[in-house]
C-alpha cells in the first residue's frame, strides 16, 4: 500500500468522510460512480411505473400525493447525478450509458403496475426496501453521497407511509378492494426481496465496497432486516405474504423465509424483465423530447453570463 492509500484507508476506518478534493483510489471513484449512477437512474426510471397512475388516481387527494411522490423521485435522481458529478462524471455521459444499456438501474422498476393497489404495494414494499438499503448509505464514506441520502431517506419514509395507508384502506374496504391489495402484494413481494441484490455468496462488489465503507451491511443482512420489519406490518394490514415458509425463528430472533428465485433477478438485470424495453424506450423518448428545454436553459445561462460580464 502506498502512503496515500494508507491515509485514505485510515480515514475510512476512523469513520470520517472522503470529500471530492481528497485523494482516493481510482477503483473507489469508479465504484462510487457506478453505484451512484445506477441509483440515480433507478430514481428516474422509477418515476414511470407510478407516473402511469397519476391520471387514474381514485381521488384528488390521492392524485396530489402521488404527483408529489413522483416529483420527489425526480429530485432524488438530480441529487444523485450531482453527487456523481463531484467525482468527475459527466451527467450527459451517464444518461447516454443508461439509454444505450451500458449502465443499470434497479430490477424492481421492470415490473408492470396493473392496478391502483400497486401504488400501495410500491410505496409499502419498494420504498420500504429502499429505506432499509439507503439508511446505512447516510453513513457511506463518500461525503456528497452520504449527505444526499439523508434527505432522500426522509422523503422515502413519507413514501413508505403513503403506500401503507393506501393498502390499509383497500385491505379494510370492500372484498374486491381487499383482493386487489392482496394481489398487488403477491406480485411485488418477491421482486422487492430481489432489490437487495444477489446473495452475498454471489455479490462480486460487496467485499471491497464494505472495506471502503461504501456499503455498511451485506445484501443478505439488509434483506433479512427488511423481512423482519415487514412481516409484522403485513399482519397489521390484514394481508398475507406469498411465502408459506415465513415463520418466526426463536433461535435467530428473525423471520425465516423461502428461497428466492435469483435466476429471475439475473434475467431482469440482463434486460429480460417484463418491462425493460418499454422503460428504456420511454426514457429515451422523454430525453429527446426534452432537448429543447436543455438547450433553452443553456442559452439562458449563457445570456445571463454575458450580461453580468458586460455589467462588470
The site for ligand 3HC (CB under 6 A) is made up of 34-35, 38-39, 42-43, 46, 73, 104, 106-107, 126-127, 130, 133-134, 194-198, 203-206, 209, 215, 219, 269
Q: Cβ closer to ligand 3HC: 29 or 178?
A: 29
**What span, in angstroms and rounded, lies between the C-alpha atoms of 34 and 84?**
9
User: Which is closer to ligand 3HC, CB of 133 or CB of 234?
Assistant: 133
| CA–CA distance, 180 with 135 (Å, rounded to integer) | 30
Three cell numbers written together for 89? 462524471
CB of 200 to ligand 3HC, least distance (A): 8
Rounded least distance, CB 42 to ligand 3HC, Å: 4
Q: Which is nearer to ligand 3HC, 62 or 197 (CB)?
A: 197
What is the rounded distance in angstroms from the CA atom of residue 289 to the CA atom of residue 272? 26
The residues near 263 (Cβ < 8 Å, ≥ 6 apart) are none
> Length of the chain in residues, anyone?
312
Q: Running DSSP on this structure, what letter comes out for residue 136?
A: G
Tell me the C-alpha distance between 245 and 183, whole Å: 18
Radius of gyration of the chain (CA): 21
Please state the closest distance from residue 278 (CB atom) to ligand 3HC, in A.
Answer: 17
Q: How far is the CB of 91 from ligand 3HC (least distance, A)?
A: 17
Q: Residue 194 or residue 241: which is nearer to ligand 3HC going by CB?
A: 194
Q: Which is nearer to ligand 3HC, 30 or 304 (CB)?
A: 30
99 and 284 Cβ atoms separated by less than 8 Å: yes
Distance CA 77, CA 36 (A): 10
CB of 176 to ligand 3HC, least distance (A): 27
Amino acid at each position: 500500500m502506498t502512503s496515500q492509500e494508507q491515509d485514505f484507508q485510515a480515514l475510512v476506518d476512523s469513520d470520517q468522510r472522503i470529500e471530492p478534493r481528497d485523494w482516493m483510489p481510482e477503483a473507489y471513484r469508479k465504484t462510487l460512480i457506478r453505484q451512484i449512477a445506477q441509483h440515480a437512474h433507478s430514481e428516474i426510471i422509477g418515476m414511470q411505473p407510478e407516473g402511469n397512475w397519476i391520471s387514474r388516481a381514485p381521488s384528488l387527494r390521492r392524485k396530489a400525493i402521488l404527483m408529489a411522490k413522483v416529483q420527489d423521485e425526480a429530485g432524488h435522481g438530480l441529487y444523485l447525478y450531482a453527487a456523481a458529478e463531484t467525482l468527475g462524471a459527466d451527467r450527459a455521459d451517464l444518461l447516454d450509458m443508461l439509454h444505450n444499456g451500458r449502465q443499470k438501474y434497479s430490477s424492481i422498476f421492470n415490473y408492470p403496475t396493473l392496478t391502483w393497489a400497486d401504488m400501495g404495494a410500491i410505496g409499502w414494499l419498494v420504498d420500504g426496501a429502499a429505506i432499509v438499503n439507503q439508511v446505512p448509505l447516510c453513513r457511506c464514506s463518500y461525503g456528497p453521497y452520504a449527505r444526499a441520502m439523508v434527505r432522500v431517506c426522509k422523503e422515502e419514509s413519507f413514501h413508505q407511509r403513503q403506500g401503507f395507508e393506501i393498502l390499509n384502506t383497500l385491505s379494510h374496504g370492500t372484498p374486491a378492494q381487499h383482493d386487489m391489495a392482496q394481489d398487488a402484494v403477491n406480485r411485488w413481494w418477491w421482486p422487492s426481496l430481489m432489490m437487495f441484490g444477489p446473495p452475498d455468496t454471489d455479490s462480486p462488489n460487496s467485499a471491497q465496497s464494505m472495506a471502503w465503507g461504501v456499503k455498511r451491511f451485506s445484501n443478505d443482512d439488509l434483506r433479512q432486516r427488511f423481512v423482519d420489519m415487514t412481516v409484522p406490518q403485513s399482519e397489521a394490514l390484514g394481508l398475507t405474504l406469498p411465502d408459506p415458509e415465513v415463520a418466526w425463528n426463536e433461535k435467530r430472533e428473525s423471520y425465516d423465509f423461502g428461497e428466492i428465485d435469483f435466476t429471475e433477478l439475473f434475467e431482469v438485470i440482463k434486460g429480460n424483465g417484463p418491462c425493460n424495453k418499454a422503460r428504456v424506450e420511454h426514457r429515451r423518448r422523454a430525453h429527446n423530447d426534452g432537448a429543447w428545454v436543455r438547450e433553452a436553459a443553456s442559452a439562458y445561462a449563457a445570456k445571463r453570463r454575458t450580461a453580468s460580464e458586460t455589467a462588470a
